[in-house]
Amino acid sequence: MIDDDFTIASVLGQDKAKKMLRGAVRSHRLSHAYLFRGPAGVGKKTLARAFGNYLNCQAPVADQDACGSCRSCRKLKSGNHPDLLLVEPDGAAIKIKQIRELKHALTFPPFEAKYRIVLIADVHTMRREAANSLLKILEEPPPGNQLILSGDEAGDILPTILSRCQIIPFTGLARELVADRLAATGIAPDEAASLAAIADGSLGRAKTLADSELLETRRAIIAGLLEMKQAKRPAAATVFALAEQAAGLADRLPDLLDLVKLWFRDLIMLANHLPEEIVNRDLPGLADRNGVGWTAAELLDRLDLFDKARRQLARNCNRTLVCEDLFFGLL
Ligand SMILES: [Zn+2]
């Protein structure tokens, strides 16, 4: 995997963040704590690891990146470096117990690295109690420690944390970059382009969606709906079978519904003569300019059914029943 390289250059996009970090190293003006902030799944944690590698690299390349092969780089890459501390949410949040353990660990100097890299990931999950416990360390970390926090911009990050870090902004990735990176992992180019569009600038989300069971189920549902629509009669047995298959995805069912909804959105684009807006280039039914049987108004109505289904799922309604209701409604 290209991502496992952990050099700054191997991280997708984020030119501004890279420039800020390299500039800080070059001018010997490292901030004691950085907060990498931006959308989910755009490379914050990956760049944090790469930056840590660079800071500790024994033979940096052209004054701007880790070499990827010296002893320090190899050890940090393996994830087993004693001077790489990673704090991640335990369940839904970073807990105060984890921060206390971290503070204890920081009372000792680094084992061997120039900088001990302390990555506190997803700080938007941290509640006030845990955040307060972290403030002193953030303000004045013991020497030899480089703190890097990451947080999603959609989540709330406490102002007390924000004010004590230098913020490095991350942005959504260009669709082409995400598609190319997916294709490099062996995904068919058409499918990679669809996934990149669906994931809306997040490589992390695109990778989650690239799950083959999810994509196969999406294809089966869409083919089934199309077949029934064109036969002009809903077949109850088919709907029940498709609902069962969809419900089998369990926690990933909301993702499936988003994917199928996007196909309906594409049909709307087609009905409105905007073929260039189509996202799902790998799916059936979108090559026919005459549409597949729904009018533009009918299609718009159907988008609401997806929102209704998502609400029902959020309330823990029975997954199979939600899908049956939705699929009958879509026909
Ligand atoms: Zn190196």
pLDDT digits (tens, 9 = 90+) for 211-223: 878 888 998 999 9
Phi then psi for 168, rounded to 5 degrees?
Answer: -110, 115
Q: Whose structure tokens read 């890279």?
A: 18
d(CA 35, CA 166) in angstroms, rounded, equals: 6
- The answer on pLDDT for 1 being more than 70 is no
d(CA 43, CA 24) in angstroms, rounded, equals: 19
User: How far, in Å, is the centroid of ligand 1 from the Cα of 88?
Assistant: 25
Mean pLDDT, the chain, rounded, equals 90
User: How far, in Å, is the centroid of ligand 1 from the Cα of 248?
Assistant: 46
Two structure tokens written together for 126: 């941290």
User: How far, in Å, is the centroid of ligand 1 from the Cα of 51?
Assistant: 11
User: How far, in Å, is the centroid of ligand 1 from the Cα of 269?
Assistant: 50
Q: In 3D, which of 209, 232, 229 has the Cα closest to residue 288?
A: 229
- The answer on pLDDT for 287 being more than 70 is no
d(CA 117, CA 147) in angstroms, rounded, equals: 6
User: How far, in Å, is the centroid of ligand 1 from the Cα of 141?
Assistant: 25
Length of the chain: 331
User: How far, in Å, is the centroid of ligand 1 from the Cα of 81?
Assistant: 13
pLDDT of residue 231: 83
What's the CATH architecture for 2-172? 3-Layer(aba) Sandwich (3.40)
User: How far, in Å, is the centroid of ligand 1 from the Cα of 56?
Assistant: 7
User: How far, in Å, is the centroid of ligand 1 from the Cα of 15?
Assistant: 21
**Lowest-confidence pick of 29-43, 54-68, 163-177, 203-217:** 203-217
pLDDT tens profile 183-220: 998 888 888 888 888 888 899 999 988 887 888 899 89
d(CA 145, CA 122) in angstroms, rounded, equals: 19
What's the CATH architecture for 211-330? Up-down Bundle (1.20)
User: How far, in Å, is the centroid of ligand 1 from the Cα of 45?
Assistant: 19
Query: For the chain, percent helix, then strand, then coil, each to nearest 5?
Result: 55, 10, 35
Q: Are 158 and 128 in contact (CB under 8 A)?
A: yes
Amino acid at 186: G
Ramachandran class of 325: left when φ > 0, alpha when ψ lies in -120 to 50, beta otherwise: alpha
**Mean pLDDT of the 31-50 span:** 95
User: How far, in Å, is the centroid of ligand 1 from the Cα of 170?
Assistant: 25
User: How far, in Å, is the centroid of ligand 1 from the Cα of 71?
Assistant: 7
d(CA 246, CA 223) in angstroms, rounded, equals: 13
State pTM to two decimals.
Answer: 0.80
User: How far, in Å, is the centroid of ligand 1 from the Cα of 224?
Assistant: 53
User: How far, in Å, is the centroid of ligand 1 from the Cα of 54?
Assistant: 7
User: How far, in Å, is the centroid of ligand 1 from the Cα of 13?
Assistant: 22
pLDDT tens profile 120-158: 999 999 989 999 999 999 999 999 999 999 999 877 898
**Mean pLDDT of the 92-96 span:** 93
pLDDT of residue 55: 95
User: How far, in Å, is the centroid of ligand 1 from the Cα of 7?
Assistant: 9
User: How far, in Å, is the centroid of ligand 1 from the Cα of 99?
Assistant: 30
Domain boundaries, the chain: 2-172, 211-330
The H helix count followed by the E strand count for the chain is 14, 5
**Mean pLDDT of the 93-102 span:** 96
pLDDT of residue 116: 96
Given pLDDT bands bounded at 50, 70 and 90, which one contains residue 4? low
User: How far, in Å, is the centroid of ligand 1 from the Cα of 322?
Assistant: 53
**In the chain, what percentage of residues exceed pLDDT 90?**
67
